[in-house]
């Protein structure tokens, strides 16, 4: 009988960030959501650690624009 594929666990810092954000009293701010998204992209290797601050700012701006347009 073949074994089921193993699922890789995300790094502890990603899990910690997700748990902290989920405890936020009124949901996530644009910056918190952007940070969570970019953190996941860093974990998968799609964004370099050196580019995190700029990537978070870009994502936050995009989230803010979409919120302002009601596009969410």
- How does pLDDT run along the chain (72 residues), one tens digit per residue? 566 656 555 556 655 666 665 565 668 899 999 999 999 999 999 999 999 999 999 999 999 999 999 987
Q: How far apart are CA 72 and CA 62, in angstroms?
A: 11
What pLDDT is recorded for position 69?
Answer: 94
The reported pTM is 0.64
Query: How far are the Cα atoms of 15, 56, 58 from residue 9, in angstroms, in the given order?
Result: 9, 23, 27
pLDDT computed for residue 36 by the predictor: 96
Q: 37 and 29 in contact (C-beta within 8 Å)?
A: no
């Amino acid at each position: 009988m073949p074994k089921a594929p193993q699922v890789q666990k995300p790094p502890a810092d990603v899990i910690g960030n997700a748990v902290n954000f989920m405890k936020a009293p009124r949901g996530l701010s644009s910056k918190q959501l952007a940070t969570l998204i970019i953190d996941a992209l860093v974990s998968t290797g799609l964004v370099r650690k050196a580019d995190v601050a700029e990537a978070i700012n870009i994502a936050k701006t995009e989230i803010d624009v979409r919120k302002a347009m009601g596009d969410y």
